[in-house]
Amino acid sequence: MADKVSLEEIGEAMYKMVEEFAGKKKFKPGELGKEMIAQFGEDRVTKKDCKEALKLLMNSGRLVYGYYGGTSVEIPHVEGAAKDAGEK
């Protein structure tokens, strides 16, 4: 059986992906999971692992949820409307 990938590793890979595509593509949580399974192989990463890894990232505040007609995963930043309201 293939070695399982730790939640931390999955988390790091997710973060890297979101960071790399910031401004180009907003990933949906499910898409990010599918990317991880593609990257590590379905024998090493399950959907449930991806959900857990994402939950840890969200709880730590390194990633946040965004919403524009559908939920996306994003790196915390001050977006347009908030910037105009003086948020930092």
Partner 1 sequence: MTTEERKTDIGPPNYEKFLHPIIKENYGKWKYHETLKPGVLVHVSETGASIYTVRGGSPRLVSVDFIRMICDLADKYCDGYLRFTSRNNIEFLLANKENIDPLIGELNSNGIPVGGTNNAISNIVHTQGWVHCHSAATDASGLVKAVMDELYDYFTTMKLPHKLRIAVACCLNMCGAVHCSDIAILGIHRRPPNINHEALKNMCEVPTTISSCPTAAIRPATVEGIQSVEVDEDKCMYCGNCFTVCPAMPIADPLNDGISIWVGGKVSNARTEPMFTKLAIPFIPNNPPRWPEVTGAVKNIVEVYAKHARKYERVGEWISRIGWPKFFDLTGLEFTKYHIDDFKHAGTTYRKTTQIRH
Partner 2 sequence: MADEKERKTPLLDELEKGRWPSFVTDLKKIAERKPMVKDLLGQLELSYKEKKGHWKHGGLVGVRGYGGGVIGRYSDLPEQFPDVKMFHTTRVNQPSGWFYTTKALRELCDIWDKYGSGLTNVHGSTGDFVFLGSNTDVLESIFTDLSKAGWDLGGSGSDVRTPSCCNGPARCELACYDTLDMTYDLTTTYQDELHRPAFVYKWKFKMAGCPNDCVASIARSDLAVIGTWRDNIRIDQAAVKEYLDNGLDITSDVVLKCPNQCIRLEGNELSIKNEDCVKCMHCLNVMSKALRPGEDKGATILIGGKAPIMEGALLSSVLVPFMKMEKPYTEFKELIESIWEFWDEYGVARERIGECIQRVGLGNFVEAIGLEPIPQMVSQPRDNPYIFYEEYFEEGDEEE
CA distances from 40 to 6, 64, 84, 86, 88 (A): 11, 23, 41, 41, 37
> Given the complex with partner 1, which of 1 and 88 has the nearer CB atom?
88
Residues 18-77 that bind partner 2 (CB under 8 A): 28-30, 33, 47, 51, 54-55, 58-59, 61, 64-72, 74, 76-77
Is the distance from CB of 10 to CB of 36 less than 8 angstroms? yes
Other C-beta atoms within 10 Å of 19: how many? 11
Residues of the chain by 3-state class (helix, strand, coil), percent to 5: 50, 10, 40
2, 6, 25, 76: which one contacts partner 1 (CB under 8 A)? 25
Which residues of this protein are in contact with partner 1, per CB under 8 A?
Answer: 24-26, 68-70, 79-81
Which residues of this protein are in contact with partner 2, per CB under 8 A?
Answer: 28-30, 33, 47, 51, 54-55, 58-59, 61, 64-72, 74, 76-82, 84-87
